Amino acid sequence: MSGITRRRALGAAAGAAAGLAAAGAAHAAIRTTDPRPQHAPGGATAVPGSFDEVYQGRRIQGHPTHHGGHGGGRHGGHDAGYTVRVDGEELHVMRNADGTWISVVNHYEPRATPRALARAAVTELQGAALVPLALG
């Protein structure tokens, strides 16, 4: 018998459906954690504005700093030109070359904005206190 059997056809269809379902789930996960930066008119990466809110019972605040982080910042040139605080303690943040943001809490999970980064850090901390980072 050289033709395909019903069992093989159903198996192939089930495998294809499972693959499409997995691809759809992965695509949905990528969209919800999309780290792409927001851009200002003219294509420049926008400097995010200030925020001050309570998220999961923790006060998160962020604002641009005046020196912009061009090598002369507080942290050996890694100052992102932006300050983020969780319950008054500074969350060390850095801006990647692609415009995304990372912190010491979420170093391998870039976020599009400092606000999203602060929220992710609060979620990751699970109620634990943010311990100040000693650099230098």
What is the Cα–Cα distance from 37 to 57, expressed in whole angstroms? 27
* More confident: 24 or 100: 100
Residue 10 pLDDT > 60: yes
Q: Average model confidence (pLDDT) for the chain?
A: 76
What pLDDT does residue 48 have?
A: 87
The neighbouring-strand residues paired with 45 are: 39
Q: Are 37 and 98 in contact (CB under 8 A)?
A: yes
> What's the CATH number for 51-125?
3.30.1880.10
49-82 pLDDT, tens per residue?
999 999 999 999 999 997 544 444 444 445 568 9
pLDDT top residue among 23 and 123: 123
Residue that has been written with the tokens 């992965």 in this structure:
26
84: nearest Cα among 107, 113, 56, 45: 113
Rounded CA separation 110/33 (Å): 9
Q: Which residue has the tokens 């930066």?
A: 37
**Measured between alpha carbons, how far is 119 from 103 in angstroms, rounded to an integer?**
11
Residue with tokens 């070359």: 97
**Tens of pLDDT, residues 96-119:** 999 999 999 998 999 999 999 999
The whole-model pTM stands at: 0.60
